[in-house]
Structure 1
Amino acid sequence: MPAAPSTAVLFDIDGTLVDSNYAHIDAWWRAFLAIGESVDAWRIHRAIGMDSAKLLEELLPDASHETRDTAKQYHSAYFAEHQPRLRLLPGARELLQAVAEAGHAVVLATSAPEDELVRLRELLDAEHWITAVTSSEDVEQAKPDPGIIQVALRKAGVDADAAVMVGDAMWDVESSGRIGVTCIGVMTGGIGGDELRGAGAAEVYDDAAAVLAALRAGDGPIAALADAA
């Protein structure tokens, strides 16, 4: 049997591999209206990628737990309406393939709930390249808490200094940095490069296709990971 990979690349999914962030924004915006709250869409966008409990604390600071739970249920229902229209972002599937073929473990390091994750994995159609997957079932708190990243490393069987994270939000960058994982930022989630760099991203690219181009050229953190292995 071939040896298990000693290095890993961890991938956020929403906004990084799948063009779903704006679907989440719409679903939350409609959910808040359904419970009689009005939250500006730009504020929702700023919180996308956070653990849903933290997002609700941030956006509905005075709401009861019951009200927040109701909003979460509405969000799930409204987001489900978007799922048939979700699409992959440029280079997403090809990047997973290239990373796997380079000998790294491919880990989907997401806190998406299981019902959403099923659809996202179907869309990626990359099961034969994936070593491990996390979900909301793995931790009590998601990003920016580093728990998901720690679970992803444990499932891959690699140390933090032998891994690279790819994500689209400050929360991906911050959670990775808290445990010493180098993070690549992509701008497909709608967050600018300066902000991602300010949060600690080692490199920022437009999208997964640009990350793939850098890897093929032997540049960037993923290529360096191969050199260090």
Structure 2
Amino acid sequence: MPIKAILFDIDGTLIDSNDLHVLAWEEAFAGIGARFDRQTIHDQIGKGTDMLVPSLLPDLDEDGVTRLGEAHGAIFKDRYLDRAKPFAQAPDLLAHAHGLGQSVVLASSASREELDHYLDLLDVRDLVAETTSGDDVARTKPAPDIFAAALDKLPQMGADEVIVVGDTPYDVEAAERCGIAAVALRSGGFTDDALMEAGATAIYDDVAALLADYAASPLGDVAG
């Protein structure tokens, strides 16, 4: 089947922000006396608060998880959000897909506020057909909810007509649970082994490399 829509993750995929989220989480954890090395935190990036915090603090109650997520969000907004920049050619990749008639969807575990900021930062509002954020669903990645919500907004398309582009194993796992293939990028700092074990159909260095190979990539099946 031809690919009619592409669901793009944002953090680590279109925006160089994963390491900044690590720093914000490190500060948030320190605020309650919890300390983890940065690699341990990085290995959880790509999940929303509801999945990330219990992975590292399994005994923390629901209210504690919520408060920690709010602390992370405030720290990230105040200290790091303005430092997050698009990867080279990220808008060009979205424009290319749009120009081929493929629907461009942003599907992220980030908050709605962060997603709106990134839409403006990328200057792609006119290219994006739909968006879903962590605020739209009960569970974030690697649960399938975010991509399932995106599919619900594309009622004329089946899972085999859609593909995900992400940078973490959690993007790939969430896509797989929806029956959607996923292309992974190394730009988020995860190993090829981790991405392949999660089920990635192909791996590229970053959005620029994917754009350069677009026609031969899994995204390039436009005519069927």
Q: Which TM-score band applies after superposition, normalised by the shorter structure?
A: over 0.9
More helix by share: 1
Q: List aligned pairs for 1:63-212, cutoff 5 A.
A: 63-80=60-77, 81-157=79-155, 158-212=157-211
Of 13-22 and 128-137, deviating more is 128-137
Q: Which amino acid aligns with 1:214?
A: D
Q: Which amino acid aligns with 2:175?
A: S
Q: Distance in 1 between matches of 2:147 and 2:116?
A: 20
Structure 2 stretches lacking a partner, 5+ long: none
Q: Deviations over 1:44-70 (max 9, x none)?
A: 101111131111101111223333222
Measured at CA, do residues 137 and 73 of structure 1 come closer, stay the same or move farther in structure 2, by a change above 3 Å?
closer
Q: Distance in 2 between matches of 1:155 and 1:161?
A: 15
The aligned counterpart of 1:60 is 57
TM norm structure 2 = 0.94
* Identity across the alignment (%): 38
Aligned length: 221
1:8 deviation in Å? Answer: 0.2
Measured at CA, do residues 64 and 180 of structure 1 come closer, stay the same or move farther in structure 2, by a change above 3 Å?
closer
Measured at CA, do residues 180 and 66 of structure 1 come closer, stay the same or move farther in structure 2, by a change above 3 Å?
closer
Match among 204, 210, 220 for residue 217 of structure 2: 220
Q: Distance in 2 between matches of 1:64 and 1:135?
A: 24
1:72 deviation in Å? Answer: 1.4
Match among 15, 27, 32 for residue 30 of structure 1: 27
* Structure 1 contact 173–185 (Cα < 8 Å) conserved: yes
Superposition RMSD on alpha carbons, in Å?
A: 1.4
Measured at CA, do residues 148 and 41 of structure 1 come closer, stay the same or move farther in structure 2, by a change above 3 Å?
same
TM norm structure 1 = 0.92
Structure 1 stretches lacking a partner, 5+ long: none
Q: Which amino acid aligns with 1:11?
A: F
1:42 deviation in Å? Answer: 1.1
